[in-house]
Amino acid sequence: MNLILATYTLWLREVVRFARQRNRVIGAFAQPVIFWILIGSGMNSSFQAKELAGVSYMEYFYPGIILMIVLFTSIFSTITIIEDRKTGFMQGVLVAPLSRSSIVLGKVAGGISLSLLQSILFLAFILTPMVHFDFSLFSFFLLLLCIIGLSFGLTTLGVLIAWPMDSIQGYHAIMSVFLFPLWIFSGAAFPVEGTPAWLYYVMQANPLTHGLSLLRYCFYYHQETAYLSFSEIQFSIVYFAVFCLLTFLWAVKMVKKSR
C-alpha cells in the first residue's frame, strides 16, 4: 500500500511541476514539431528508399519524431533527480520510510505520463494532409501501449544516468554524445536497410531501433510491408522488453545502494 501511495505522490509531483513550468511545456512540444516540419520538408523531395515506395519522408520521419518526443521527455523528466539532489528535496525523500523501488517507479510513471501527453498532442498532425496514415482507433491504442513501453525503458535509462550525476551540465554532455546518437542510429532519420554493414549491426544492437520498429508497426500493422514483418516485430518486442527489465532492475539496485 505504501509503495503505491509513495509512487503515486512522486508521480503527481512530477506532473504538477511540469505543468507549472510553462517553458518546459512549450519547449518539449515545439522542438520536435519544428524538427519534423523543417527537416521533413527539406528531405521530402530527395527521399528515396527501395522498400518504402510511396512513403513520403514526412511520413517516414513521423514515427521517428514520436520516438524523439518519448526519448527526450522521458530523459528530461529524470534531470529533476539532479535538481532534487541539489535543492535538497531528495534528502527528504531518502529519509522517509518508503521502498526505494517507489522512487524509481514514481519517476517512471511521471516520464510515461508526460510522454503520453506530448505524443498525443503531436498525433494531431495525423489529421493534416502532411501525412497519409490509415489510422484507426485500434492503431491509437496500440500506439499508446507502445509509448508506455518505450517511455518505461527510457525513463529508467534516464534514472541510471542521472542518479550518480552531480551536475546538469554533465547530464547534457551525456545527452549529446550518447542519447542523441541513439536516436539518430535508430532508423528515425534514415532506414536501417542500405547502411554499411558495421552501421547495420550497430543499429541492430541499439534498443531504440527496436523501439522504433514497434512504433512504426502501430501505423502499418494492417499492411504487411517488406521491411516490417510480424516476425521482426516479435524479436523487437522481446529485445525491448529485456532492455526495460534490465534497466529497471539496475536502477532499483542503484537507488537502493545509494544514500
Partner 1 sequence: MSLALETIDLCYSYDNKRSALKNVSLQVPLHKSLAILGPNGGGKTTLFRLISTLSQLQEGQAFLAGLDICKKEDEVRRVLGVVFQSPSLDTKLTVEENLIHQGHLYGLSGKSLRNLISEFLEKFHLSERKKDIVQNLSGGLKRRVELIRALLHQPKVLILDEPTTGLDPSARREFWDLVQETQKEKGTSVIYTTHLFEEAERCDQLAILDSGELVAFGSPDELTSEIGGNILSIKSKNFHSLKEKIEKEMKLSCRVVHDSIRIETNNNSEVESIFQKYQNDLESVTLSKPTLEDVYILKTGKNFIAASN
- The phi, psi pair for 225, rounded to 5°, reads -105, 160
224 SS3 class: coil
Among 54, 92, 129, 196, binds partner 1 (CB under 8 A): 92
Question: Within its chain, how far is the Cα of 192 from the centroid?
Answer: 19
Q: Does 24 bind partner 1 (CB under 8 A)?
A: no
Q: Does 23 bind partner 1 (CB under 8 A)?
A: no
Stretch in the footprint of partner 1 (CB under 8 A) among 36-44, 60-68, 82-90, 129-137: 82-90
Among 20, 22, 45, 222, binds partner 1 (CB under 8 A): 20
CB of 162 to partner 1, least distance (A): 17
CB of 214 to partner 1, least distance (A): 34
Stretch in the footprint of partner 1 (CB under 8 A) among 63-71, 89-97, 120-128, 209-217: 89-97
**Residue with Cβ nearer partner 1 (17 or 29):** 17
Q: Does 26 bind partner 1 (CB under 8 A)?
A: no
Cα–Cα nearest to 67, from 229, 182, 191: 182
Buried b (16+ CB within 10 A) or exposed e, 10-38: bbebbeeebeeeeebbeebbeebeebbee
**DSSP secondary structure letters along 136-205:** -HHHHHHHHHHHHHHHHHHHHHHHHHHTT---HHHHHHHIIIIIHHHHIIIIISS-STTS-HHHHHHHHH
Cβ contact 72:28 at 8 Å: yes
Q: Does 98 bind partner 1 (CB under 8 A)?
A: yes
CB of 167 to partner 1, least distance (A): 17
Assigned C-alpha cell, 99: 521502498
Q: Does 167 bind partner 1 (CB under 8 A)?
A: no
Q: What DSSP state is assigned to residue 225?
A: B
**Residue with Cβ nearer partner 1 (1 or 127):** 1
CB of 161 to partner 1, least distance (A): 22
Among 26, 34, 96, 199, binds partner 1 (CB under 8 A): 96
Q: Cβ-count burial of 254 within 10 angstroms (0-12 exposed, 13-18 middle, 19+ buried)?
A: middle
CB of 40 to partner 1, least distance (A): 35
Q: How many Cβ atoms sit within 10 Å of the Cβ of residue 63?
A: 24
End-to-end CA separation in angstroms for the chain = 23
Q: Does 246 bind partner 1 (CB under 8 A)?
A: no
Residue type, 100: R
Using CB under 8 A, count the residues that bind partner 1.
Answer: 24
Q: Does 234 bind partner 1 (CB under 8 A)?
A: no
Among 12, 43, 142, 174, binds partner 1 (CB under 8 A): 12
Residues that bind partner 1 (CB under 8 A): 1-2, 5-6, 8-9, 12-13, 16-17, 20-21, 87-89, 91-98, 259
